[in-house]
Structure 1
Amino acid sequence: MPKRLRLTRRFPVAMTNDAYRTLQRFADEAEISPDEALCFLFEHFSSVTHHENLTARLRLFKAELAARKA
């Protein structure tokens, strides 16, 4: 029997407009809610990301972070 999706944890999330639009587009294309889309992405994180690409992207993001905050 499949595990039931129970959204039991809530946390405030702040994101850029670009990130929000991307999340909305992904959820719309998958025909699920944004909450369900986030659950899917985090529950399957290791299979939907490429470790080397993630590491490189994270390094770039951290380098740009100071400029974004200014």
Structure 2
Amino acid sequence: MNGYPINLVSKERNENNVSIQFANFFLDNSNMNSSITVIKRRGIGVISEIYYFKKSDGRWKYEGKDLLFIG
């Protein structure tokens, strides 16, 4: 283009990198229960999970998680 060479390059995928996205944070009206949706991407794969927390003795404690989908 305009005398400059055009070189096509392929996008490299690093399968060792994990992208994490936090979404849909929920806190109930009593401020005692909460959840957050976490989406993890690695390469072309994706996993979405929801994590649950409960406030006890002034500290948030992990209660468990549910798998929403794998793609």
TM-score, normalised to structure 1's length?
Answer: 0.22
Higher normalized strand content (fraction of residues): 2
Higher relative contact order (CA 8 A, sep 6+): 2
Higher normalized helix content (fraction of residues): 1
Larger Rg belongs to: 2
